[in-house]
Structure 1
Amino acid sequence: MVWNVLFGERSTTKIAAIFDTEQGAATAAAAIHSSAGLQAAQIRLVKPYEKDYAKKIEPETQGIVRTALRAHLVLGAAGAVVGFFGWGLLYLAGIIAVTATPLGSLGVFIFFGAIAGMLLGGLVTARPDHQLVIQRVQTATQEGKWTLLIHPRTPRQCDQVMAALSGVEAEVTRSV
């Protein structure tokens, strides 16, 4: 997929399944491990009232840094290109503010296009879709429930995990 060039993480989707018992979570983990072909590192268990579970939710800290760099660079460059083409359209349309000062207005269009692209890169880096999963895990942990965190690396693995979780009694939350 074209959007994957923006991400430096191997697993961009997060799936959380909330269980009332450790047995339910362990059974689901075993089923997911065998049916979806995930590695053990892709499946994490968060215990009730556990304090240091953040690393289990976001285990790829280096990948997040790579995502930040890639997203800002790629989208900043794309924004500059869009700014250039926007300037070109206005120049060809004969807009006086653009034609009177072509180089100055070109610089402004490229600059603001790059800034808009980098702002979008910041949004991609922040991954607001992950916040839903993070908040649900935090609530479940505080309520004394067990959480199974799954980090599928491919769309196929994601589909297999969701299929495996459809047959168990769990509240499932996932990111994009």
Structure 2
Amino acid sequence: MNWQMLFGEKATTKIAAVFDSESQALSAADFLKSAAGLQSTQVLLVEPYERDYAKKLEPEPQGVARTAIRAHAMLGLAGLVAGILVWFALYAADIPAIDSSPGLSAMAIIFLGSIAGLLLGGLITSRPDHQIVIQRVKTATEAGQWSLIVHPRDARECDVVIEKLTAAGADIARTV
């Protein structure tokens, strides 16, 4: 399965770079737009002490909702199929507990497989890897620093952004 199918967002990776001055952050933003071919909507600046920067970290609320629906539907279905396969394997292995009550054991195993898939869908929707970037931007904002938030849309853009920000000596945090 292509993991990108689970996500409804155009940019699933987020990169934050922290700078001490506005001029450094603006220079890096302009350089990234030209070097990586990024659009203005992919490169956002968070000012020191800015309060409403959450929209810059997650600019695609509709994409997050699509991710929730896709991840739960696909992984819930995958869990259902996995539960059926596990039950058939156990039934074929002549496990006494399965043979004695095949209907109840099938319902239980298939139910648990489905629940496991839905839980995994919830984990993917919650995106715990985003906390690294969110916390780094929060810390920088409270410390009076400038944060540059970049939303690359593919691996090539991501590699170019990381390379250029590393060369600029920026403090970088990124999601998966």
Which residue type is aligned with residue 9 of structure 2?
Answer: E
- Partner SS for 1:68: helix
Structure 2 counterpart of 1:40? 40
Give the superposition deviation at 1:96: 1.3
Which residue type is aligned with residue 156 of structure 2?
Answer: R
Which residue type is aligned with residue 120 of structure 1?
Answer: L
Structure 2 counterpart of 1:5? 5
Structure 2 counterpart of 1:50? 50
User: RMSD across aligned C-alpha pairs, in angstroms?
Assistant: 0.9
Matches within 5 A, 1:58-73: 58-73=58-73
- Partner SS for 1:128: coil
Give the superposition deviation at 1:150: 0.1
Given the two structures, how large is their TM-score scaled by the length of structure 2? Answer: 0.98
Structure 2 counterpart of 1:29? 29
Which residue type is aligned with residue 69 of structure 1?
Answer: I
CA contact (8 A) 1:17 1:147 kept: yes
- Partner SS for 2:165: helix
Which residue type is aligned with residue 86 of structure 1?
Answer: V
Q: Could you list the runs of 5+ residues in structure 1 that have no partner in the other structure?
A: none
Which residue type is aligned with residue 84 of structure 1?
Answer: I
Which residue type is aligned with residue 10 of structure 2?
Answer: R
Given the two structures, how large is their TM-score scaled by the length of structure 1? Answer: 0.98
- Partner SS for 1:148: strand
Matches within 5 A, 1:89-108: 89-108=89-108
Q: Distance in 2 between matches of 1:41 and 1:131?
A: 21
Q: Distance in 1 between matches of 2:107 and 2:36?
A: 51
Runs of 4+ off more than 3 Å: none
Give the superposition deviation at 1:56: 0.2
Between stretches 1-10 and 114-123, larger displacement belongs to 1-10
CA contact (8 A) 1:25 1:146 kept: yes
Structure 2 counterpart of 1:152? 152
Count of aligned pairs: 176
Q: Distance in 1 between matches of 2:163 and 2:132?
A: 21
CA contact (8 A) 1:7 1:67 kept: yes
Give the superposition deviation at 1:101: 1.5
Q: Could you list the runs of 5+ residues in structure 2 that have no partner in the other structure?
A: none
Structure 1 counterpart of 2:85? 85
Which residue type is aligned with residue 5 of structure 2?
Answer: V
Give the superposition deviation at 1:169: 2.7
CA contact (8 A) 1:19 1:169 kept: no
Structure 2 counterpart of 1:18? 18
Identity %: 56
